[in-house]
A = this chain, B = another copy of it.
Amino acid sequence: MTADELATPRLTRKGRATRDRIVAAASELMFLRGVAGTSTDDVQHAAGVSTSQIYHYFRDKTALVRAVIAYQTQQVLDAQQPLLGRLDTMEALRAWRDLLVDLQRERQCEGGCPIGSMASELSETCPETRPDLIEGFGRWETGIRDGLRAMRDRGDLRGDADPDELALATLAALQGGLLLTQVRRETAPLEAALDAVLGHIASFTT
């Protein structure tokens, strides 16, 4: 029960397609230019729809933004699969690290993290989106945490390792690394951040 279905109870196949096009176009624009930097007009043209359609499928811009957050969360998690689903060995963690670094390099270190950027922009200015952002981060954190828990349950991590805390620290390092990488346009910060936290996790291996 995302915010989607509640807003528009009945959608024909065509309607859903149009709605999806709007969300996809809005997501790309908001990723590139920020939420405030993206007007509904921009979204219209990019999606090839008319003014009224956006307001037919979304109550207001905030509703659209919430749909964009859900969409980007899915995109981000999908881009990390299948690794994110099995982060239960140091090798998997290192491969995941490399994937994240490569992804940033591919896009010339531009844009940062889609979720992180929106979180920063919206946390204070648009409180109603905070639950969506928390959920997005939460799903990400869960992926990391489950792997670490498996490692500890299996005995690969010592008992004094706290998977929950380590997962949170890992997500934080990732976010901070992405932010600095975005500003400086080089992957060094992301690499340093992830290497440090992975090194820390490795120090708990048996």
Contacts and interface: CB of A to CB of B under 8 A. Distances in A.
A177 B197 CA distance: 13
Interface string A130-155: 10011001000000000000000000
Interface in A164-195: 165-166, 168-180, 182-184, 188-190, 192-193, 195
Contact of A192 (B165, B174, B203): B165
Chain B CB within 10 A, most for which of A33, A165, A174: A165
A40 to B, nearest CB: 15
Interface residues of A, number: 49
Interface string A99-111: 0000000000011
A34 interface: yes
Nearest to A117: B120
A183 B112 contact: no
A68 interface: no
B137 A124 contact: no
Given A34-B121, A34-B124, A34-B125, A175 B169 contact: no
Contacts of A168: 180, 188-189, 192-193
24 contacts: A34-B36, A36-B121, A36-B125, A110-B124, A112-B120, A116-B120, A119-B182, A119-B183, A123-B182, A123-B183, A124-B182, A133-B183, A137-B183, A165-B195, A165-B196, A166-B192, A169-B192, A171-B176, A172-B176, A172-B190, A175-B175, A176-B176, A199-B203, A200-B203
